[in-house]
Every structure is written in structure tokens, then in C-alpha cells.
Amino acid sequence: MTYRIGIDIGGTFTDCVIHAPGAAPIIVKSPSTPGDFSQGFMNVLSVAAQRLGLSRDALLRQVDAIVHGTTISTNALVTRNTAETGLIATRGHPDVLTLREAPRKRPWNWKIDYPEPYVPRSRTFEVGGRFDSAGNEVEPLDEGDVRRAAAAMRQAGLKAIAVSLLWSFVNPAHELRVAEILAEECPGVPVSLGHQVNPIPREYRRTIATAIDASLRPVVSDYMDRLTRALDAGGFSGRLLIANCAGGMMPPEEITAFPIQSVMSGPTLAPVAARHAAPGRDVIVADMGGTTFDVAAIRGGQILVTPEAMIYEHDMLGLPKVDVRSVGAGGGSIAWVDGGGLLHVGPQSAGARPGPACYGAGGTEATVTDANIVLGIIDPDFFLGGKIRLDQAKAEEAVARVAAKLGLGLRETAFAIHTTANHNMIGAIEDITVNEGLNPRDSLIVTGGGATGCHIAGMADALGLPQFMVPRLSAGLSAHGGLVSDIRWQVSASAYTDSESFAVERVNQTLDDLARRCRGFLDRAAVPQSARRLDPAFLGRYQYQSWEIEVPFDLPAGGALSQADLPALTAAFHAMHKRIYGISDEGNMVEFVTWKMTAVGRTDPAPAPGQPEPSDGLAAPAPKSRRPVYLGPDTGLVDAPVYAGTDCAGGRPVAGPALIEEETMTLLLLPDMTARTDADGNYWINRN
């Protein structure tokens, strides 16, 4: 038998989804291992093998592909555990990372200190040499400056070097020569070049992306090396694919070459899985894990991408990525009371170690998971299907300490923690919908993460949602997303022109080069010809506008543009501008700034089963047990039926208040809610 496996490492658990031909997917979990996430990766493979009745090595020999959503780069950035990096800039322009894009955040708040640049000024070096905007050499490269900078960085013991020179995206000759000199002067030190990492006119975005990429090279390279060696030792001979920030997959050598592509890649796969579960729909993806709550949006089947992704409060990622908004609200989020007696939940988290108090691993702070045990939502004897036994007494002790500070009863405090977490997550949903001019009631919420099933009913009730969906693989939605996502790789190049004097020959040369590079990637990724697709796009703006927007377009059958295609390109720009901003200016000149090409290797996953049809003839399943659940001061304590997920197959209706227990998820239904399953076992819940 040939298996395909998706693995996603979260802050608390590492999720693994196993696909086998002709069988329903299986999901297993294992605690994450901060400090060496590759160990957690191998541990969850051992759990998967045990579930299948195999040894880990026997399983690996039968695996065709492993898709991995890694958090190694994101964690390195969050904890500032990146390599010490030097920056080489054009003489006179060493402060790009300090000035950023000029306007500072909250400009009238004089209490905010000016933020430190990503690469300190003391590790930034200027070199002579200059090209103009047309790529003509104005001043030759001062190789003496480069060698002196290399000597200083070598003496400082820097572990990585970023090179970002003016107009390198038009003519990279100076950056390439700098790289050759650095190879001589600093052998073995990884170097990232701006024209390769992010070839766009935006100086700050190109430079910050290059600096981030360089700082991650030793970290990601070491992780990939340890991971591939462990897999090789286990007899794995299939394909290993790594999730990227664009919602696709890449071979590990491509991620190692450009590690910035792996930043925030884990959460980007949840929208991919949600799009597969509800194709063509407007979707809000609500993914609650152990540490964070991640929200993404899908409009008309298209996952929203943002060029404004932030890594810290003041710095951008520099590259476009799937638009995922995160807040510190997860199952491990800690409840605490401030000096004024106000309850807070998060953003601090108990994480995988020591974890919530109920884990019995040394944690003493009350978390959302502890509160859900006190409320009766989570059965401490059936956590992960009974594989982990939780300590209800420790959960009650932790919540009782918060209750003493609030002056409330035990259950009332647990409910306050539960609903406070809900409100934090609702705020994140409103941020990506209401604040963007969208009504969340017009979208289908699809949940991800093992903790979301305990909270989504209350959130849907507060938001007034008529319907939401909880996938059967919700607890491993990102891991599952890797198995239904395409291989994706994107390149871009600058070729400035405008609609009044469209330089069609230069644009076609640029597109030909991008297509050649994309085909090379697809060759390296061993994608068959029948599964290949190239998706072109351009970044354009109206004359005198400051910012560009991305506009996809179709190439003619011959693969080259002509002057006759210009009206279609400008019309596509006007339509996209109106879609984003609500207005368009058809009489204005359109400037074409950057051209992009995305290489896609289609995986052709099985089609989604679709929403179940209500049937009055189906009887509700028999509950496996009952237990008291506290639903707040208005409803009080209810004797709720508990249903096994396996008994709900075939669309049998389950009416709330009730609990449905899967091995990796508990779904709470409030009164006036009815759940039915589709052909894949996904739960569709309607509010009556």
C-alpha cells in the first residue's frame, strides 16, 4: 500500500494526516518538541505507524510523499533566534531598514520609541557602485569596499550576509560580483541577493525580505538537514515537500535556497483545505490550535493574499503571503486577572511544555483547556480518544485560583474564560471581514484546530451565523491542506512600461524568462507535463499612484503578448481596481511595473463531497453517554447527550444541546443547532 502523509507542527501538538488509496484519511497527534521540532516530526510518524500496525521504518518505506508545514522559520523570527546577519547596501543608502517606508505607525504617540532595524546599523556596510533605473552603470563597483566589508563581517563572526543594492532588480551585475567576492573572503557563509529573493522596485521590501532570508538560511538549512537525514535513516525514498507562504508546496532544496518562503507557512495550508471542502464558496477559516487562533478568508474560491504581511509590529515580511491574521487565543492560552480585577485570556500560552494544568506536566496556570474541562465540554478520560488522560482535579485547582481573584464560582469563572476566548477570536474574524467591508454572515465558517469545536457554536451564535462547517479532520486541517494543495513556486521581474507606450517586446522577453525559470522549477520538482500550469500576473497602478495591485491575466495561445492584447490587460486592471477600491478610472494611464509567473504542479485531489441534503426520514443516533455541561448563567447546567462521531455518519441529525466526540475533536452544539454529516464525515451545522 502507498501512503501520502501531511504533517503540521503547531505550538502544542504535531498533527499527522495519513491518506491511503480507497480508505478514509486518518489523523493522529503527538506533542510538539520545542528546541528540536524534527524530533516531534519523527515522533508523530511513530504514532501513525503504531496506528496502522507497522513499525516506523516499515511505514516510511511505503510512503509516496510527505507534505510538511514547518514552523521552524516562524519560531526563529518570533523568538529572535535567527543567525547574526550583515547587510551590504549601496553607498549613501545604509538606512533603508531603519527608515522603512517612511510613515511611522501611530505618528502622534510620542511615547513610542523608534524601533530598531532588523539588521543593526553596526552590521550594515556601504559599498560604492551604482546603476540607474534603466540598468546603465553610473559608477563601477568598488571591490575594495566589498573586501573591507567582508573582513569586518568575518571578524564580527556573522553567520549570514544579505546584499541589497539599488536597482539590482534591473541589472544584477554588481550583486552577482559582490557574491563572488564574498565567496572568496567569507567561504561557507550563506549569502542572499536582493534581485533573487524579491526583485521589485520597493527598496525597503526588497531589502527586508533579503535580510530575513539571509538570517534564516543557517536555521532552515540545519533543520532540513536533520529532518532529511532522519527520514533517510528510516528508509524513506518518496518525495518530501515543504509548505510555503503562498499556500503551496516546494521541494526541500528550494526552501533551503530561499528559506523566507517557509515563513508562516503552516497556517497557510488551512485555507487550502477549507477551499477544497467548500469549493467556490466565500469562506472564513477559523483555526484554533494550542497557542494561536488563525483566521483567513476565501472569496469566490480564491484565497486572499496580502503584500503587507508583518513579522514584528514594525517590520514587513516583504513578500506576498496568504492573508492569515493571528491572535493569542488557543487551548493553551493562559487566563489571568489584572490589577483592576479584569479577566484576560492570552496572549501568553502554556505551550507544549509544560502545557495546561490538566496535562499534569508541571503547568499550574489556568488555560482555556482547563476551563473547558471544568465546564464539562471536554471529557478528561477521552482526550485524543483516551490516549492522554487529563487531570480534572488539577484543572479545577487552576481555575479556582482565578475564581478567587474574580470573586466568582468555579463554573462561572470557567465560563468567563471560555467566553473571553470566544470574544478574542470573534475580534480576529471581524478584523478580516467587518473591517474590510465584508459581512461575516455572507460567508461559511470552516473550522480548523483541535480546540475550535468547543468554541465555534458560541462564536457562531454571537456573530449570528446561519451555518458553519466542522471538517472531520478539523484537528489536522493544515496537515490535510498539504495533501490537497498544489506545488507552487513564484518568480517576478521588473519591466516597467505603460498603456500609452506599451513595450511589448521587452515585456515578452521578461515573460519568456519567467516561464523558463518556472519550467526549470517544475522539472526539478518532477512534475509531469500533464499536471503543469503557468499563471501570469502583473503589478500595476494608475499614473501618480503610490502602490500597485496584482492583476492576473491569460496569455494568448501562442504564449506571447501583442499590442492587440493591451486593451484586455488594461480592462483587467480597471476591473481589479474597482473590485478592491470600489472605483476605477478608465481614462487614466495604466503603469505596468512588475511581472510575475507562478509555476503550478496540480495534485488533482479527490473532489469535495458537498453539503448533505436534509432528510426527515433519518433518525438521530443513540447517544453513547450523557454528562452535565455548564452553558452559562442563562441556561445553566444541562444534562447533555454525548454522541460518538462514528454514529453520526450518513447525515443522521444531531440536535443541540449536545456533544459530538471524535478522537481528536469535541464539537459542542448549543440549543437550536442541528448537525449533519456529508459523505466525508464533515459536520454541517445549521442554526434553527
Q: Which domains does the chain have, with CATH numbers?
A: 3-76+222-321 (3.30.420.40), 82-215 (3.40.50), 333-422 (no CATH), 487-601 (3.30.1490)
553 and 559 Cβ atoms separated by less than 8 Å: no
Q: Which residues of the chain have pLDDT under 70?
A: 1, 103-106, 352, 605-609, 613-616
What DSSP state is assigned to residue 296?
Answer: E
Adjacency order of strands within the sheet including 590-601: 26-31, 13-19, 3-9, 63-69, 239-243, 249-250, 487-498, 590-601, 532-542, 549-552
Give the model confidence (pLDDT) of 647-671 as tens digits: 998 889 999 899 999 988 999 999 9
Cell numbers for 240: 518530501
Distance CA 624, CA 232 (A): 44
Give the model confidence (pLDDT) of 99-124 as tens digits: 888 766 667 777 777 888 999 999 99
| Per-residue model confidence (pLDDT) at position 320 | 85
Helix axes 456-463, 410-432, angle to 10 degrees: 60
Q: What is 322-376 written as a DSSP string?
A: E-EEEES-STTEEEEE-TTS-EEEEEEE-TTTT--GGG-SS--S-BHHHHHHHHT
| Per-residue model confidence (pLDDT) at position 608 | 67
555 and 636 Cβ atoms separated by less than 8 Å: no
291 and 10 Cβ atoms separated by less than 8 Å: yes
Cell numbers for 657: 444541546
* Residue 284 CA neighbour count, 13 Å, CB half: 30
| Per-residue model confidence (pLDDT) at position 312 | 73
Buried b (16+ CB within 10 A) or exposed e, 243-255: bbbbbbbbbbebb
Degrees to nearest 5, angle at CA 656 with 654 and 660: 60
Residue 245 CB contacts under 8 Å (≥ 6 apart), including other chains: 260, 261, 262, 263, 264, 265, 268, 309, 317, 319, 321, 322
pTM for the structure as a whole: 0.85
| Per-residue model confidence (pLDDT) at position 128 | 97
Could you count the other beta carbons within 10 Å of the beta carbon of residue 2? Answer: 11
Cell numbers for 112: 513610542
What DSSP state is assigned to residue 515?
Answer: H
Residues in the chain: 688
| Per-residue model confidence (pLDDT) at position 606 | 65
| Per-residue model confidence (pLDDT) at position 539 | 93
Q: What is 110-122 written as a DSSP string?
A: TTSPPPPPSS-GG
- Chain CA centroid to CA 299, Å: 17
Distance CA 62, CA 543 (A): 57
Give the H/E segment covering residue 629: strand 625-630
What DSSP state is assigned to residue 613?
Answer: P
Residue 485 CB contacts under 8 Å (≥ 6 apart), including other chains: 67, 243, 247, 248, 249, 269, 272, 603
